Structure 1
Amino acid sequence: MTKRIQPQQTAAFYAQAVASFGISISAMALALAYLPAQPWVRAFLALGLLYVVTSTVVLCKVVRDRQELSAVTNRVDQARLDKLLTDHDPFKVDG
């Protein structure tokens, strides 16, 4: 039976991703707060930033869910094939 090795994320990679996200959001929030523009312009840009962030989170979830579904489907198909191969006896005579 072939065993698939799933790549694992390290704690450092996870921490880097979280830190990168936090820094980018903080930098954009500070830039919007100190932007020399009218309040409605800053509010519009802040709303756009919020939309980009939520869209990114949803996209990440969809991609992850599709990948997990694919992995589960592949495992089920592999288990069915393994069962068929173990149950098959080429020397069995019907009758």
Structure 2
Amino acid sequence: MTKSVQPSQTGAFYAQAVASFGISVTAMVVALIYMPAASWVRAFLALGLLYVVTSTVVLCKVVRDRQEISEVTNRVDQARLDKLLTQHDPFNLNP
């Protein structure tokens, strides 16, 4: 049976992604706090920022779930094919 190679990520890549997310959200919050605009404008933009962040997290989860489902389906199909190949006897005249 063949083994599939799982893609992996390094700890540095994970740390960079978390730091990048934290820095970008912090920068946007600081910008919203010190922006010279009316409070309702800042509140509207903060709500937009919150919506963008939550929808991005949901999109990442959906993409990951879809990828995991396709990997499981591919593994099941591969297991079925391996079982058929091991049971197949080309010299048997009576199937």
Letter in 1 for 2:19: A
Moved over 6 A (4+): none
Tell me which residue corresponds to 1:4: 4
TM-score, normalising length: structure 2: 0.96
How does 1:1-95 map onto structure 2 within 5 Å? 1-94=1-94
Gaps of 5+ in 2: none
CA–CA distance in 1 between the matches of 2:88 and 2:53?
53
Between the aligned residues of both structures, percent identity stands at 80
TM-score, normalising length: structure 1: 0.96
Gaps of 5+ in 1: none
2:5 is paired with a residue whose SS is coil
CA–CA distance in 1 between the matches of 2:44 and 2:72?
42
* CA RMSD between the two structures: 1.1
State the 1:2 CA deviation. Answer: 2.5
Deviations for 1:60-87, whole angstroms, at most 9, x for unmatched residues?
0000000000000000000000000000
